[in-house]
Structures are given as C-alpha cells and as structure tokens.
C-alpha cells in the first residue's frame, strides 16, 4: 500500500505543473494521461469564463504565442511526474494502472483522481482521448476528423446492443454562446452576479448548466438557475405554440451547503438534481412545462431526500423576483420564460390535481410561501390545517 503522503506529493506536483502550463484565468482543469512504462502521454481540457467555456491543451501554444519547444518541454516534465507516480505503484507491488485522470477545480482548491486498468490497444491514443472526453466530459471534437472518429464510436455502441446504465448514444445539444451570454446578463441584471456555474460533466439530449447566485445583503438566499433547457424548443399544444422556451430556477436558504463536499450529500444536492431532470423532461418526452404544471418525483411519488417530505413540484411564475426577470427576448422568434420550481408535499400534489393550480397558489399566498425553499414549511393541504374540509 502506497503512503497517502507520497500520493499527495505527486498530486501537488501535477497541480503545480498544470498551473504553470495554462496562462491566464481558468476555473478547472481535467487531465487524461496514459502510461505503460514505455510510453507516456497526457492532454487536458481547461475551463474558463466561470466553467462555461472549455479549451484543449493542444491549442495553448498558438493561443498564447508560446514557443513549441518550451511547450514540449513542459509537457515532458508533466508526463515525467506521471511516470514517476506509475513507478511508485509498480515498485510498491500494486497493480500498475494504464490511464490516469486528474480533475482539479481551482475555485474550491480540490482535486479528484481516477485510475484505469484497461485501454483499447486496437485504436490510436487520439481515438482513446476522444472517447474519454465524450464519455467523461460530454465534449465533442471540433474538427471533422475528430467528429468522424466519435461518430464511428457511437455507431459501434449502437450496433453492439443495449446501452449500459448511464450511457447515451446521442449527441447532446449545447446552448449557443450568444444566448448563454444573454441569459447570464439577464440573471445579473435582475438577481445578481453569478458566483459559479455548475458545469455538467456528462450530458444527454441537452447540456444543462446551473448558474449559482450567492446570497447578498438584500437577498438572503441562494438562487440556482438552469441554462440549456431553452437550447431546444418544447412541444406545447397548438393553442400554446408561443410557449416553447423556458429555463427554471429555485431558491435555497442562505445556510444551504452548496460546497463541493456538501453536494456529495443527497440532502443538499436534490434541488440541483431536480432542476436537471425537469429541464430535460419536455425534450425527452416531447411535451412542455409551464406555470401551473406539476411533476411527481416518481410513481408512486417518493421524497427527494431523506430529510424532506417533498415528493413533487409545481411550476409558478416568479414570486419573489423583480417582474422583469420573468421573460428574456432573444430575438423575434424566441422569448425565454423563467419559471419558479416549488417543491410540494404529496397532499398538495393531490389537491392541485383535483382543484387546479390556482387554488393551491391561493393557499401558498395565504401562508406567504414562495420559491425560497423551506424544508420545514407547513403542508397547506394536510387535514390538520383544514378541519372544515
């Protein structure tokens, strides 16, 4: 067994070298390396602009006018550290790995590592990198040759049978850069400056990012807003054909733990999981979501987490927000509506289905319930609160 202090030494050396290799401001680096003892290779992707833009390490020399010999020397130093790490495993009698992933988030100053013990030797290192980048990060090559290799890979997976759990054979749709910038400007105008973007690592159907606006003096709650749901139009009925584009948001108390460590706990992560699932729902089922709609958390409905009684949601127009936040016109054909996600108890779900969403909204108004989540709030449809029903 290798001493954790030795491993930490290598991880810190790798992080330091990556710091040195990426000029300018960045948020996150994800490196993929291969090592056999005779062959070493490494490449990485780095995220900028609050995790929204991703770049390949191979573009750095040209982008920042770095001499190729200097770049190659730095890359050689990086692979040298990785090889020394591999030798530590071998000399300690551990099973030698052949692939190594190093995920370093500068914002929270944390890194994650992953060792792999299998690699497909029938394909080139470039093909293995393309497959890794797609499977792990949802990244699609920009060049035609890379796209061709990825298409062949996905076609091969289709012909091999049923996908494994968590796999996806479709290319996700990404929000265009201009619209993403307009959404961020809209959020900053009506809510506040985005602190961080929870960038989705692996996407299907559409790529969903979650913008996080931290509490402020005049706004004592976190706000989480999707960006990506409106990359594709929904499928509303003909009489609501204008209601095609939406993004969702939810507000959480100021003491909600949204740190990297905190979100590993389902008690904290469920609102983000809920937002992502809802954002995909209309595209996966060729339907639409709009204020007044409700969605259960399963059949039968089950609580989102062990510490909450909520087992579904209802969508409402913004309540606690500036009225101007509700709509963002992108162009003559596209207006994005921002819709609040309100978690519901099962009794509230049933009441809404029986009496309509406006009746339930009236009860929320009576008890001043809005889009700011309170996991201990009263159930407005529980019989004990309505003895005359």
Grouped pLDDT means (10 residues each) for the chain, 389 residues: 84 91 89 88 87 86 89 92 92 89 78 86 86 86 82 74 46 80 95 84 74 93 96 94 96 92 86 92 92 91 92 95 96 96 96 95 95 95 60
Q: Where in the chain is the domain with CATH 3.30.500.20?
A: 4-139
Give the integer Cα–Cα distance in Å for 91 and 89: 6
Give the integer Cα–Cα distance in Å for 46 and 64: 14
Which residues does 11 contact at the CB level (< 8 Å), separation at least 6?
102, 111, 113
> Taking the complete model, does pTM exceed 0.85, yes or no?
no
Cβ-contact 10, 88 below 8 angstroms: yes
Give the integer Cα–Cα distance in Å for 234 and 280: 10
Please tell me the chain's helix, strand, coil percentages from 3-state DSSP, rounded to the nearest 5.
40, 20, 40
Just give the CATH number of 4-139. Answer: 3.30.500.20
Give the integer Cα–Cα distance in Å for 384 and 305: 24
Q: What is the 3-state secondary structure (H, E, C) of 164-223?
A: CCCCCCCCCECCCHHHHHHHHHHHHHHCCCCCEEECCCCCECECCEEEEECCECCECEEE
Residue 17: per-residue pLDDT:
92
Give the integer Cα–Cα distance in Å for 160 and 150: 15
Residue 203: per-residue pLDDT:
59
| Strand partners for 246 | 337
């Amino acid at each position: 067994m290798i001493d954790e202090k030795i491993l930490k030494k290598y991880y810190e050396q790798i992080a330091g070298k990556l710091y040195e290799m990426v000029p300018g401001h960045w948020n996150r680096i994800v490196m993929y390396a291969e090592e056999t003892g005779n062959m070493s290779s490494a490449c990485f992707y780095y995220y900028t602009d609050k995790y929204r833009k991703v770049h390949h390490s191979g573009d750095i020399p040209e982008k920042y006018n770095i001499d190729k010999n200097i770049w190659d020397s730095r890359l050689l130093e990086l692979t040298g550290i990785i090889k020394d790490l591999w030798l530590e495993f071998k000399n300690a009698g551990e099973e030698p790995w052949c692939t190594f992933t190093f995920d370093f988030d500068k914002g929270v100053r944390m890194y994650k590592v992953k060792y792999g013990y299998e690699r497909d030797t029938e394909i080139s290192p470039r093909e293995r990198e393309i497959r890794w980048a797609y499977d792990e990060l949802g990244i699609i090559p920009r060049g035609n040759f890379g796209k061709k290799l990825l298409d062949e890979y996905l076609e091969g997976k289709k012909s091999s049978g049923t996908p494994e759990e968590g796999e996806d054979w479709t290319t996700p749709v990404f929000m265009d850069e201009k619209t993403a910038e307009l959404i961020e400007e809209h959020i900053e105008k009506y809510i506040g400056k985005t602190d961080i973007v929870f960038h989705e690592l692996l996407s299907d159907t559409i790529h969903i990012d979650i913008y996080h606006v931290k509490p402020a003096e005049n706004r004592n709650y976190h706000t989480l807003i999707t960006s990506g749901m409106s990359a594709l139009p929904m499928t509303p009925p003909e009489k609501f054909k204008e209601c095609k584009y939406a993004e969702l948001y939810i507000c959480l108390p100021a003491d909600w733990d949204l740190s990297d460590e905190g979100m590993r706990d389902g008690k904290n992560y469920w609102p983000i999981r809920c937002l992502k699932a809802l954002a995909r729902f209309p595209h996966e089922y060729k339907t639409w979501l709009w204020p007044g709609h409700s969605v259960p958390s399963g059949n039968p409905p089950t609580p989102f987490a062990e510490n909450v009684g909520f087992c579904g949601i209802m969508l409402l127009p913004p309540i606690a927000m500036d009225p101007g936040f509700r709509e963002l016109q992108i162009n003559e054909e596209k207006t994005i509506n921002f819709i609040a996600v309100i978690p519901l108890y099962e009794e509230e779900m049933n009441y809404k289905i029986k009496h309509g969403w406006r009746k339930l909204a009236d009860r929320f108004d009576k008890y001043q319930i809005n889009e700011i989540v309170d996991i201990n709030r009263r159930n407005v449809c529980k019989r004990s609160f309505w003895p005359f029903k």
